[in-house]
Amino acid sequence: MKKIVISLLSITLLALVFNSCVKDTDYETPQINCSEPEINPASMTDIGAVLANWHTLNPGTNDRNVLKFAPEDADPVYLTGYVVSNDKTGNFYKELFIQDDLTNPQHAVKLAIDQRSLFTRYDMGRKLYVKLNGMGLNKVHGEYVIGWVDGSDVSPVRENIANKNILRSCTPGDVQPKLVNSPNDITDDMIGMYVQFDNMQFDLSEVGKTFVDPADSYDTHRLMKSCVDDSELRLETSTFASFKDVVLPEKAGSVKGIISRNYGDDFYVLRVNSPADFDFNDNRCDPAMLDCQGSNVGGTNVLFNEDFSSYSVGETNIPGWTNVNVNGGPTLFRVSSYQGNKFMKCSAYNSGEDPLEVWLITPPINLDNSTGEELTFKTLTGYNNGQALSVYVSTDFNGDINAATWLLVDTTLADGPSSGYGNWVDGSADISCLSGNVYVAFRYKGGESGITTTFEVDDVKVSAN
């Protein structure tokens, strides 16, 4: 009986000690150690310093040499930073992003840790002291990653080592996202930072879709656009995220998340901690849409028909057509051929242009002497990593794209695959409510470090009654 009483008293005392270190509101992140870590300031370093040392070690664009920190038995070296990622929803996995300030960060980095549910120990805003001895830094899939030195690379830190080498402050701070005006303003220094973009919305092609495409195995990219400058940024969501089947918000507003790179290190992406990071309650900023509601459209009277079969491969100057790179670069729509079929083709891949915006515009098509006009065409994509093509019509184009009034055409465009080429897809639009001379434009918008999808256009036709 005496042993039982002593045991019960011990359990009670332990419970009291434990609960004395936990805030009433801090249910998910137990305060394991309520004493602030006592670390010699001389042994501390910051994220900016270690990143600068890595860049000194890797002066070339493609260099990937591990920056190795002090050996395990050397004097301790501690990296400080604040937690900005949360793996509770499963959108982050065995990784922890930290940055050098709660409100105005200059640098950030990822810690690779072989441990799940990191949010229960390393919650948002928590200041960490990471003992770097035995660890290293390298750039992996476009992200700056600290992990255990593993030969010529870094690997996730084992849980027992992380528990010993990653010390926490007692009280989490209030993290405020760094405001970034436009996706065009993103730089490599922002990789791993917690940021916010205002005046954003998902592209019309994404409206109604869920965060994750059921056909994807690992990640899904959904295109977002800025209402300020029409710049683009992809949202990356893991197929293991608990909110994968949630429908994307339809309106416009602000979004908070972590800047990262896609797995192939081709373009910047934004990764959110949860759907709560979206505040999309404003009206959308879509361009004016063509909205004809005719009946019996598309008769036997062909007003315009171009299949590009009479032009040489590589040709960009198609008589009557306007083919222009808005930024003045060399990339244009060009005649291409496959198995005897010719078509117009454009891609930002290896273009060296970022952003890239090319317009291919038909000659004037007069609709005054017909009714029930319908536009039809075909598109095909290759190595699809985003919707780069959109279709517009104008009745006042005079050679200056910016001076014309353009109406966006809601039509079907090719989509996929991400590797190789797909099949031709038919697109059509009712244009019977227009009159006079009509111009049809195919706009390609991407960039070498962004959307590089190859788009092909063929069989552009307007038929009527």
The pLDDT assigned to 11 comes to 41
Helices (H), 106-237: 159-165
Q: What is the pLDDT of residues 262-272, one digit of tens each?
A: 998 988 999 99
DSSP per-residue string spanning 134-162: TEEEEEETTEEEEEEEETTEEEPEEHHHH
* Number of residues that make up the chain: 465
The pLDDT, as a whole number, for residue 34 is: 67
Residue 396 DSSP code: S
pLDDT at 130: 97
Spatial CA neighbour of 249 closest among 272, 273, 275, 268: 275
CA-to-CA distance for 150 and 158, rounded, in angstroms?
A: 12
Q: Beta-carbon neighbour count of residue 289 at 10 Å?
A: 10
pTM of the model: 0.77
The token pair that represents 270 in the structure block: 């934004």
Token couple for 405? 């009034």
Tokens of residue 427, six digits = 């697109």
| pLDDT per residue rounded down to tens, the chain (465 residues) | 344 434 444 444 444 433 434 333 344 555 554 688 989 999 999 999 999 999 999 999 889 999 999 998 899 999 999 999 999 999 999 999 999 999 999 999 999 999 999 999 999 999 999 999 999 999 999 999 999 998 889 999 999 999 999 999 998 999 999 999 999 899 999 999 999 999 999 998 899 999 999 989 999 999 999 999 888 899 999 999 999 999 999 999 999 999 999 998 988 999 999 999 999 999 999 989 999 998 889 999 999 999 999 999 999 999 999 999 999 999 999 999 999 999 999 999 999 998 899 999 999 999 999 999 999 999 999 999 888 999 999 999 999 999 999 999 999 999 888 899 999 999 999 999 999 999 999 999 998 888 899 999 999 999 999
- Confidence (pLDDT) at 139: 95
192 vs 194: CA distance, rounded Å: 7
Handedness of CA 115, 121, 123, 125 (dihedral sign): negative
- Supply 25's token pair: 């509101």
Question: Given this model, what pLDDT does residue 16 score?
Answer: 40
Predicted confidence at residue 451, as pLDDT, reads 86
- Per the DSSP assignment, residues forming a β-bridge with 429 are 375
Query: Can you list the domains of the chain with their CATH numbers?
Result: 18-168 (2.40.50), 178-282 (2.40.50), 301-464 (2.60.120.200)
Extract the tokens encoding 257.
């998340």
